[in-house]
Structure 1
Amino acid sequence: MDGNDETTGRVTPITLPSFIEVERMSQKLLRMSGIEKRFAGVHALKGVDFELESGEVHALLGENGAGKSTLMKILAGIYPVDEGEIFIEGNKVSINSVKDAQALGISIIHQEISLVPHLSVAENIFLGKEPVTKTGWIDWKKMIEETRKTLQQFGLELSPEVPVKKLTVAQQQMIEIIKAVSFRAKMIVMDEPTSSLTEKEVEFLFRTIGHLKEQGVGIVYISHRMNELFAITDRITVLRDGALIGTVRTKDTTADQLISMMVGRELTQYYIKDTAPENGGEIVLSVHNLSKKGVLNDASFELKKGEILGFAGLVGAGRSELMKCIFGLDAFDEGEIRIDGKPLIIRNPNDAIKHGIAYVTENRKEEGLFLIRSVQYNITIKVLDKFIKWLRVNARYEDQKTRQFINELSIKTPNPDQEVRNLSGGNQQKVLISRWLATNPRILILDEPTRGVDVGAKAEIYAIMNRLVKEGVSIIMISSELPEVINMSDRIAVMYKGGIRTILNRDEFSQETIMHYATGG
């Protein structure tokens, strides 16, 4: 949950884990000096220095595309370094592969889940370090039993033998964390580790980090959530456009100072939202008693023209599942969908698109983007009919529209032909949003639109949402960040166990009220 205050942008105080308060003598685990990295047309890192001490949580902060993940992928052996030196415990090392990094005690939890979907939980946790019997065969019994013990220690009621693809995103994220911790690493890189976790799971992660600190493990923590940084980090290093801006002690800085370092300017307005439509606003979408066995239970709501209807709820409440049914990605058993008061049959996404509905999925890599295709391809793929007439492509018009969205959403890419997989996570998200804006939707469904997106890009996305509703577009926004839901919504629907528990008006908004209904109240 983002800890920004609703009006000032200051960090909301939360209880600090006790391990933060302990001063201790530290040993330098890592020193990266003068790190340079270039990709096709992109100078990703420009002589960056970074240090990590034993028992320290050191945050890497910066806008999407600042170079944070690139620097850590060099440390993890995923990318080779172009120039610069790496020292571990005072010794100069060469890291040319993931195995080299693992041998040096480096483990990384990626922002995007990198588990093998068809393998079991146990197989994923022990991948590459499977226990073997005296005869050289994999000791399946030991592997499953060790996994069961580990899952119990982490409070996860899961079978070690269940395939990872059957787990929720939050459960997969916890398996990633367990896998990294079980590696007995000296250094663990956590790249947006809480993006898919519930509050309870975040609290457990923070306790785990505390135990790792006590054991002298150094942790590099990448996150855009300011309250997390102030709760668990000792120092914060800020990157901007591939360059080092500075390193500060967490207790000596403020959120406003960090944001200024990140974006190179003061962010005077964060949540950008104008007045809501009147209560008597035109109903553009109505959903009546939508049900799906084991998933949805008599979900009903109405969406007004030019409003942002927020959807809140805990992980597994059914928010995304409801939207997938509305968009035609999933079938439902009972219920009715109406647009402008007329019953609608939506068999597939194409039916939804024809009726002016667009859906930006929360899982951009698996369900949204064509990663090996260009930015232009991804933005225009749903509106090809606008550029192709009689088998002739109007390339000039297609390029013009692509550059329009690149400019409007501030997408950081050297050119429209850049492959999307080479962009940062936040810029990938803006490409996906652009694709659906290109369809000129009447109803835009945004599922976790700012997940993994930096504060500057968030403000830009909020501004785009604000502009769209003023133009008459109606927006449904699912978000796990309560300050985002509260500040950007005109009304909030709170879901619990597949049903809509209540719909709140603005004068009823508060984190306590939302959590009351989200937990079954």
Structure 2
Amino acid sequence: MTDLAYGTKSGPVSNVAAAPAAVRMTSISKSFGGVRALDGVDFEVLPGEVHALLGGNGAGKSTILKVLNGVHKPDAGTVEVNGRVLTAHTPEESRAAGIAMNYQEMSLIPTLTVAQNVFLTREARTGQGLIDDKEAERLTAQIFDLLEVQVDPRARVGDLGAGQKQLTEIAKAIGKDAKVLVLDEPSTALAVSDVERLFIFLRKLKAKGVAIIYVSHRMDEIARIADRATILRDGRHVITAPLSELPIDKMIEHIVGKRSKGLADVVRSDMARGEVLLELKNVTGLHKPDNLSLAVHRGEVVGLAGLLGSGRSATARVISGVEPAIRGEILVKGQPVTLRKAGDAIAAGVALVPEDRARQGVIPAHSVASNLTLGILDRLQRGGLEDRAKVREVADAQIARLSIKTASRDHAVSTLSGGNQQKVVIGKWLALDPDVLVLDEPTAGIDIGSKSEIIRLVRDLAAQGKAIVFISSELSELLVACDRIVVMADGRAHFDRPRAAFDDPEVPEHDSGHRLQAAERKLQVAIQQALTAGQERSHV
């Protein structure tokens, strides 16, 4: 195995525009269960350029990269790498073509060392064919030297902090000596100084002619490192242009686009706030949040906005007792509570609708009635046995209350649409009659019509006196569902603003589509500002 040696020249390869494409993806389409994730997308990357791939949640970025990397086979379209058409659409074929990818979801094995992870499946060997861990450690140390960061190649990955794990994931991709390097949100867990070193190294790779696809929600990073950008929206190609033609405000405009009338037409009405039902005072979790203070009133929907790793879901887990708070105080209806487990939160009147509906929210093979009454089985017993008449009564009441579309209460939840499954999850917790409802990505994976129904339901629940914490990666959903929006970054709340603060007075009130679009751009800017503030704080 040869030593790694990268050039040191900075800046793009000269005459990049005349070079043949390192990646050319033509008319790529891909559907999952009837949902079209990509619709005839063209995507081209040149050797020696950093090409940013941008778009909101659900735009199709991860899907097209997984097609390029052989994880997904396209339903239609062609993939070429350095002029070679890929036909097998397998990870092995993509690796052989010179593609290396750093996944957003880390692929590290915590029980192995850093070096063993970096060279997993392509281990260094001795002359006798045995695995040579010492050689792998030496080569891994070389990669980290090139990155100018310090990570011990012999350290067990499970013992590393988030930033060192991220650097190990990047080293794993870099170590493949790739012709095309894909970095999916590489800076999420990195300190500012490590991001700077990563950029220096990427410029070295660029000078050697390596094509780099860089995915990030951090617009300031994109503006500094990328030569061109491609923006996707709703599974379609929107624009490919040099960064000189895409200032940050223009990027945001293309990412947001025109929102579906299904959300823009949801009628919002202001509601009278009651007393504070949930209050966090300087709460810190095991990982996140960090010194977070937050108050949610009766009749109020408070949204948590932010990027991956901002601490939104971690906050939900702390509020609902899934993870402990190590500092600070949590109060429910003015009374301090200690939440060591989910049962403590439920007893205090707090219920969580989790992000992963299929694994954490329902039992798909069980009936609608069984799922709706799962949380209150102890109340639906007579003589120690299930009172089936009571189960039917409660289930039917929730089906009617939430307009759950099912042929029968006895049908398996798996037979329902995604939106109706989500209503079952919400209904299960509403049967407990909680005071505080925490909704983590409640509309993930459901169609626009069902999203509108869920948001209307959330507004109705608040009108009935619930205090609701609403987490979503879809900015339009936050703007339609919430009375107040808290923007988070690095586990902290950087902005806490009423929903009306994001409206543009220049856009007429009757133009709901453009009004929502303008508000979404403002919220996107606030998220970027919070991200910058979080980076500056970590740098200090």
Give the TM interval when normalised to the shorter protein.
0.5 to 0.7
Residue 285 of structure 1: SS of its match in structure 2? strand
Q: Which amino acid aligns with 2:254?
A: L
Cα 1:492–1:121 change in 2 (3 A) is same
Aligned to 1:259: 255
Q: 1:50-199 alignment to 2 at 5 Å?
A: 50-151=43-144, 153-154=146-147, 156-199=149-192
Cα distance change on mapping 1:112 and 1:276 into 2, 3 Å:
farther
SS in 1 for 2:80: strand
> Is the Cα–Cα contact under 8 Å of residues 27 and 54 in structure 1 kept in the other structure?
yes
Name the SS for the 2:359 alignment partner.
Answer: coil
Q: Relative to 1, partners in 2 of residues 1:133 and 1:174: Cα closer, same or farther, differing over 3 Å? A: same
Decide which of 342, 353, 359 is 1:370's aligned counterpart: 359
Deviations 1:446-492 (A, max 9, x none): 7899999xxxx999999998887676554668999xxx99xx89697
Q: Give the TM-score of the pair, scaled to structure 2.
A: 0.63
Mapped to 2, the partners of 1:65 and 1:293 lie a distance apart of 29
Alignment partners' CA distance in 1, 2:12 and 2:73: 34
Match of 2:429 in 1: 439
The verdict on how the C-alpha distance between 1:112 and 1:138 changes in structure 2, with shifts beyond 3 A counting, is same
Provide the aligned C-alpha RMSD in A.
6.0
Partner of 2:22: 29
Structure 1, residues 221-259: CA drift from partner, whole Å, max 9, x if none? 344454444443333334455444553444334236513
Q: Distance in 2 between matches of 1:47 and 1:194?
A: 30
> Structure 2: how far apart are the matches of 1:43 and 1:282?
44
2:202 pairs with 1:209? yes
What is the CA deviation profile of residues 152-180 of structure 1, one whole-angstrom value per residue up to 9, with x for unaligned ones? 55455444344434444454333222211
Higher relative contact order (CA 8 A, sep 6+): 1
Amino acid at match of 2:77: G
Structure 2 CA distance for partners of 1:184 and 1:293, relative to 1, 3 Å: closer
Using a 3 Å threshold, how does the CA distance of structure 1 residues 27 and 120 change in structure 2: closer, same or farther?
same
Q: Structure 2: how far apart are the matches of 1:109 and 1:294?
A: 23
Gaps of 5+ in 1: 1-17, 406-414, 421-426
User: Which residue type is aligned with residue 109 of structure 2?
Assistant: V
Give 1:435 deviation, angstroms. 4.4
Alpha-carbon separation, structure 1, partners of 2:147 and 2:536: 27
SS of alignment partner, residue 213 of structure 2: strand
Q: Deviations over 1:164-217 (max 9, x none)?
A: 344444543332222112211111223343444454444444444333322211
**TM-aligned CA deviation for residue 138 of structure 1:** 1.3
Q: Does 1:338 align with 2:339?
A: no
TM-score (norm 1): 0.65
How many Å apart are 1:54 and its aligned residue? 0.6
- The answer for the alignment partner of 1:8 in structure 2 is none
Moved more, 329-338 or 462-471: 462-471
Aligned to 1:284: 277
Deviations 1:486-518 (CA, angstroms, capped at 9, x unpaired)? xx896979999x9x99999999x9869965995
Q: Is the 8 A contact 2:279 2:296 kept in 1?
A: yes
Unaligned runs of 5+ in 2: 1-9, 381-386, 406-412, 502-525
Q: 1:59 to 1:511 in 2, by over 3 A?
A: closer
Cα deviation for residue 219 of structure 1 reads 2.3
Please tell me whether Structure 1 or Structure 2 has the larger radius of gyration of its CA atoms.
2
